[in-house]
Amino acid sequence: MKKIKPHFEPRLWEGGKKRSGLQLMETFFRFNDLVASKDRLNSIMSCAVKRNTWIKEDPSVIFQFHQSMRSFVRAGYFMMLKEKKRDANTEQENASPLVLGLLSEKEYQNPLLVFRKAFKEYSIKEFDYFMSGMVYFSLGVYDHLPERNIVIPYIHLLKMLDAAHLILERKGKKISTT
């Protein structure tokens, strides 16, 4: 008898057909709001770092967010690989510091730089490890803290969320004007 292992790798793009990284990002933001995603990531991070605290949300919501962030990271990597040929650099007017968020002016002009820099420093597996660790530490009270530097991957994830939203926003403007 053949032993069948269930495949627990949830994907936002399940359905059999191939999609681009941009379509995967659109799918992510269809289910997750930018501000809510950043707030949830912030609360997971703060609860993971503080001792004797845990996140008050339902663990199933946190797990779903964890899985969608894993898919988001993969979509960002896929988009970065495919978009190397075409540069997303578009001339934009000078943005105020409030609009930039965590992005520098150079990253605001070309949001793909955020993904290139993030995946130059960390692999997909390292982002998975970071997210799994943060979810683990945020769901319960533990005596020990994460053993690695967790601030830099967290900042990369926040910047990737901003950059992906900016790319999709610009894509929407191009479509509506043509």
Q: Which residue has the tokens 């997909």?
A: 124
pLDDT of 1-17, one tens digit each? 566 665 445 554 455 55
Distance of alpha carbon 39 from alpha carbon 147, whole angstroms:
24
pLDDT of 29-65, one tens digit each?
Answer: 999 999 999 999 999 888 888 777 778 888 888 899 9
Best CA proximity match to 43, nearest among 165, 132, 134: 134
Domain ranges of the chain: 21-86+96-173
Confidence of residue 178 (pLDDT cuts 50, 70, 90): very low
Give the global pTM: 0.78
pLDDT in tens, 138-168: 887 676 666 667 889 999 999 999 999 999 9
Residue 161 to residue 51: CA distance in whole angstroms: 27
Q: Which pair of structure tokens corresponds to residue 175?
A: 């479509």
Query: H helices then E strands: how many in the chain?
Result: 8, 0
